[in-house]
């Protein structure tokens, strides 16, 4: 279990917790800001336009993060208020993963800059970039309730009925059972970082 890292590698443990909480909070805020730009004021009405991670993740998610290393967030939106239903849903759904992509790029740029100066921890910056690229890739998977499903189901409407079945739960469980799935996505994230650093 991830909580064991607190004993074996406490600095690494707290780095991951801080980075994941920060990244998920901005991920959910990106959904909220995109929804507001599409005419939906639900995020503001529900008090979700805040940097408070407890609002976006909930205590259960934060506790689960510390125990298992897995977390989630939520941003209430009302697609019926979007000015353009299909395009609005794509933009709002894609905003979260794209925020993680932007954070991954930002941390990679900082890693390249401060790797020379030594002002910031190279390990922290690399971990932050890796986690955000991983969140970007994972959330784009076309599996409900992930953001990628909402994007792809607008492009391929025949996928929409899947959100009302147990397919998403089954697929998510299967992903975590498949040996090497997490390492595979992490490996792609590493490839992104190494490619950027070599440029």
pLDDT averages per 10-residue partition of the chain, 199 residues: 94 96 98 98 97 97 96 96 93 98 96 73 94 97 94 90 81 80 90 89
| Containing structural domain, residue 38 | 2-198
Counting the structural domains of the chain, the total is 1
Taking the model in full, what pTM does it have?
0.93
Q: What is the dihedral of CA 97, 104, 73, 19, to 10 degrees?
A: 180
Give 73-120 pLDDT, tens digit per residue.
999 999 999 998 899 999 999 999 999 999 999 999 999 888 766 566
- Distance separating the N- and C-terminal Cα atoms of the chain: 37
Per the CB < 8 A criterion, the answer to whether 141 and 181 are in contact is no
Active site residues: 28
């Amino acid at each position: 279990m991830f909580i064991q890292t607190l004993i074996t590698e406490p600095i690494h443990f707290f780095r991951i917790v801080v980075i994941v909480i920060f990244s998920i909070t901005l991920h959910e805020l990106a959904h909220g800001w995109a929804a507001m730009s599409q005419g939906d004021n639900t995020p503001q009405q529900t008090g979700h336009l805040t940097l408070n991670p407890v609002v976006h993740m909930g205590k259960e998610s934060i506790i689960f993060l510390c125990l298992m290393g897995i977390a989630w967030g939520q941003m209430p939106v009302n697609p019926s208020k979007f000015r353009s239903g299909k395009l609005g849903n794509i933009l709002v759904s894609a905003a979260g993963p794209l925020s993680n992509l932007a954070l991954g790029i930002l941390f990679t740029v900082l890693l390249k800059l401060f790797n020379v100066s030594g002002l910031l921890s190279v390990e922290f910056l690399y971990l932050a970039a890796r986690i955000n690229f991983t969140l970007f890739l994972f959330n784009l998977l076309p599996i409900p309730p992930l953001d990628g499903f909402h994007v792809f189901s607008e492009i391929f409407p025949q996928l929409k009925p899947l959100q009302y079945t147990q397919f998403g739960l089954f697929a998510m469980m299967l992903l975590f059972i498949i040996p090497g799935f997490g390492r595979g996505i992490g490996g792609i994230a590493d490839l992104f970082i190494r490619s950027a650093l070599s440029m």
